Amino acid sequence: MPAPHFHAAAGADASLGVLSGVGPVLREKLAARGLSTLQDLWLHLPRGYEDRTTLTAIRDLRPGEPAQVEGRVEAVERGFRYRPLLRVAIADGSRASLVLRFFHFRAQQVAQFAVGARVRAFGTPRPGQVGLEIVHPSYRVLGDGEQVLSEALDPVYPVIEGVGPVSLRKLIVQALSKLPDDATLELLPREHLRKLQLPSLREAILLLHAPPPDADVMALQNGVHPAQRRLALEELLAHQLGLRRQRLALQAEGTRALRGDEALVERLLATLPFTLTAAQQRVYAQVREDLRKPRPMLRLVQGDVGSGKTVVAAMAALLAVADGRQAALMAPTELLAEQHCHGLRGWLEPLGVRVCWLAGKVTGKARAKALAEVAAGTAHVVVGTHALMQEGVEFQDLALAIVDEQHRFGVHQRLALRDKGRGSVPHQLVMTATPIPRTLAMSAYADLDVSAIDELPPGRTPVTTVALSVDRRDELIERIRFACAEGRQAYWVCTLIDESDEVEAQAAQTTFETLQAAVKEHRIGLVHGRMKPADKQATMLAFKAGELDLLVATTVIEVGVDVPNASLMVIENAERLGLAQLHQLRGRVGRGSAASSCVLLYQGPLSALARQRLDTLRQTNDGFAIAEKDLQLRGPGELLGTRQTGLAGFRIADLVRDADLLPQVHALADRLLASAPDTADRIVERWVGGAARYASA
Ligand code: ADP
Ligand code: MG
């Protein structure tokens, strides 16, 4: 991530060359770790602390607990057993002794340890051959009468290749001596900090580099010390402000409002075999209101798998088409895009709306023809993968861009859409089936308005989920056989994590063959990422039409595939998948009225984490509850996937640990944007490096 940025007047931008002893070689080593200015060093915080402010009697040492001791050398043994070895026994007034053990050392070091010499050592004692020992302690041989103990806890910095810890500490001390005073450095309102009982930025930085002996070391180690929370608050605030500013900038560009003519929408609703849920109606109404405004809509629709997001997207698209303008729908995978295309054609073409298919794999004449239609405006709704955003695709008049399954879609890609509208920024509707907890949503999607379709269409029966050891595979195959005999359709999902498409395809092929041999009386299909799109599509359609009973598939079916009659799913290697992905996959069943089940096939023994994941899935079908659990188990970076740019790159903040700060962050952001926009800019610049990061996306 770009370096945080302190106000230039503070000299924060100054290159490290201003510090004495920093030549080109050292500068390069530091730069390799992203340290190139004073402010980088100010924020190069210790990863831990060592308490050298007190001495522990050797007798009181406890294995595993770092401590500082002082004693006189009693015996020295220098040997060679497989490798060089130096053992120094020291004893103190507590009449106990301790062994200091070294595997690499210089002759000079050996000479220092004369019997009777006074040694002060710091390290973590472990049980040794005789009593406790410390391997490679940090130590000092003391001169006569030398007594001084550290006055502050000693910081332990993350290691920097080629820069010794002592030199690094000296550099940081030097850099800190150039830390500006509070008046120059502080950007947050004083009384706000006082209310939260948090220190100023200057105080926080100084404390973290050299905590006083009475500092709460546990709090520091856990990252919850007020000084750490102070920095986390400002960092979170900076990101929040950055996203909001981005949103303001985009909206300031303005766009053409849609009239909101609902004639086509009403005709669609009249042909649907269902009525909208209250949640769908509510979210559609919000979208319609957004579209009627002369500034670009930036709305995220969260809705669990199967909540019916697609129809809401189709209705929004019709509002654009009714104004004689275009809408685009983008999906992360070809298969999903194809499916959307198919679905939308079924719904929209009877209304005289032309749906055009444009994916990366559409090439040659077909591509030229599609592009011409998109440019001429004869294609009203354009469906495709991200290829839609590649250069060379010119819309006649794009009014609305819909992005499905946001968790695979980066903020950068979304911003690229901005340039697709001819002369006016398109409205943007983002749909995600990976709900994220509310506070996190407010931080992650501060640049979007958020709506939720928080209700499933009626008549769905929750999916029953069981976890089954892979030892019982044969039994399971028998059960599938019976289920198919009863007219049920089943998915068998082969998953391999961190393997190529090809290996995954191979695994699916093997499973397909095994199942074909075992279940001769049923019709079995196979889809994987290595197949030609047309073949994939044909197999999917056959499954959907009920011409196949069992579909062996890779995770290509993860998002969006919709076959309501399928009521059974087996997921192989379930222990290796994340919660969100398992929930997505499971969402492929339970879409009709039949009672559905999902079997999570695992290879034991299960890790504690894997067990928790499988238990969570057995216990709930609620995407929001699963997202909360996922957040606890994996942390926000993973959860947010491609949005990591903004969030996983925090240097101090941690969205789970610091979640309770978020309401403060949001309130502060409101306040600063309203009353002190310049300060807001400076905060963003300090931590995020200016607008460049978002704008150049
Ligand atoms: P998702 O939100 O996961 O994208 P879809 O839009 O694919 O869900 O909808 C899932 C299924 O539910 C589709 O077959 C869709 O036609 C159907 N559906 C959508 N809304 C309703 C509704 N209000 N009542 C009944 N079925 C609905
Ligand atoms: Mg969908």
Express each pLDDT in 540-552 by its tens digit. 889 989 999 999 9
Q: Report helix, strand or coil for 149.
A: coil
Helices 662-675 and 677-688, packing angle to 10 deg: 130
Tell me the pLDDT tens digit for each residue of 667-693. 999 999 999 999 999 998 888 764 334
Run of H or E including 355: strand 355-358
For residue 388, the model assigns a pLDDT of 67
Write down the pLDDT at residue 407: 52
Q: What is the mean pLDDT of residues 12-24?
A: 83
Domain range annotation of the chain: 16-49+156-214, 62-144, 223-460+656-697, 463-620
* Ramachandran angles phi, psi of 433, nearest 5°: -100, 5
Q: Which ligand is nearest to the CA of 302?
A: 1
> Which atom of ligand 1 is found nearest the CA of 343?
16
pLDDT digits (tens, 9 = 90+) for 575-589: 888 888 888 889 889
The rounded Å distance from CA 311 to ligand 2 centre is: 9
Helix (H) / strand (E) element for 406: namely none
Ligand 1 atom 18, closest CA: 308
Q: Kind and range of the H or E element at 46?
A: none
457 Cβ inside 6 Å of ligand 1: yes
Domains 223-460+656-697 and 463-620 share a fold: yes
Q: What is the 3-state secondary structure (H, E, C) of 625-687?
A: HHHHHHHHHHCHHHHHHHHHHHHCCCCCCCCCCCHHHHHHHHHHHHHHHHHCHHHHHHHHHHH
Atom of ligand 1 nearest to the CA of 587: 3
CATH placement of domain 223-460+656-697? 3.40.50.300
Residue whose CA lies nearest to ligand 1 atom number 12: 308
Is 309 close to ligand 1, i.e. is its CB under 6 Å away?
yes
65-69, 276-280, 317-321: the lowest-pLDDT one: 65-69
Measured over all CA atoms, what is the biggest interatomic distance in the chain, rounded to whole angstroms?
98
Specify whether the CB–CB gap between 397 and 377 falls below 8 A: yes
Which range among 50-54, 252-256, 412-416, 604-608 shows the weakest confidence by mean pLDDT?
A: 412-416
Asked if residue 584 has its Cβ within 6 Å of ligand 1, the reply is no
Residue with tokens 């985009």: 250
Regarding the beta carbon of 123 and ligand 1, being less than 6 Å apart is answered no
Model pLDDT, residue 364: 87
Q: Report helix, strand or coil for 71.
A: strand
* More confident call, 217 vs 559: 217
Is residue 623 in contact with ligand 1, taking CB distance under 6 Å?
A: no
pLDDT, one tens digit per residue, over 473-515 is: 999 999 999 999 999 999 999 987 555 667 777 788 889 999 9
User: Which residues, at least 6 apart from 139, have a Cβ–Cβ distance to it below 8 Å?
Assistant: 100, 119, 120, 121, 122
Residue whose tokens read 């298919």: 357
Superfamily of structural domain 463-620: P-loop containing nucleotide triphosphate hydrolases (3.40.50.300)
Are 296 and 426 in contact by the 8 Å Cβ rule? The answer is yes
Residue 633, pLDDT score: 76
Read off the pLDDT band of 387 (50, 70, 90). Answer: low
Distance CA 53, CA 212 (A): 9
Q: Note whether 76 and 88 are within 8 A (CB).
A: yes
The ligand whose atoms approach the alpha carbon of 453 most closely is 1
Would you state the pLDDT for residue 15? 81
Rounded to the nearest angstrom, the distance between the alpha carbon of 452 and the centre of ligand 1 is 14
Pairing of strands 138-141, 381-384: unpaired
CA–CA separation, 262 and 268 (whole Å): 10
Of 310, 312, 339, the residue with max ligand 1 atoms within 8 A of its CB, to mutate for a pocket test, comes to 310
Instruction: Tell me: pLDDT of 103 over 80.
Output: yes
Both ends of the chain: CA-CA distance in Å? Answer: 13
Q: Which of 269, 274, 460 to mutate to test the pocket of ligand 1 (most atoms within 8 A of CB)?
A: 274
CB 277 near ligand 1, within 6 Å:
yes
Residue 550: its H or E element: strand 550-553
Alpha carbon of 405 to those of 169, 326, 451: distances in Å?
47, 21, 14
Tell me the CA–centroid distance for residue 584 and ligand 1, in Å: 15
Closest C-alpha to 305, from 658, 583, 31, 673: 583
For residue 310, give the ligand 1 atom closest to its CA: 6
Distance of CA 453 to the CA centre of its chain: 23
3-state SS assignment for residue 142 = coil
Confidence of residue 414 (pLDDT cuts 50, 70, 90): low
Q: For the structural domain made of 62-144, what CATH number should be given?
A: 2.40.50.140
Closest ligand to residue 333's CA: 2
What is the pTM for the complete model shown?
0.69
pLDDT, position 408: 46
CB 156 within 8 A of CB 50: yes
Whether residue 351 contacts residue 399, with contact meaning beta carbons closer than 8 Å, is answered with: no
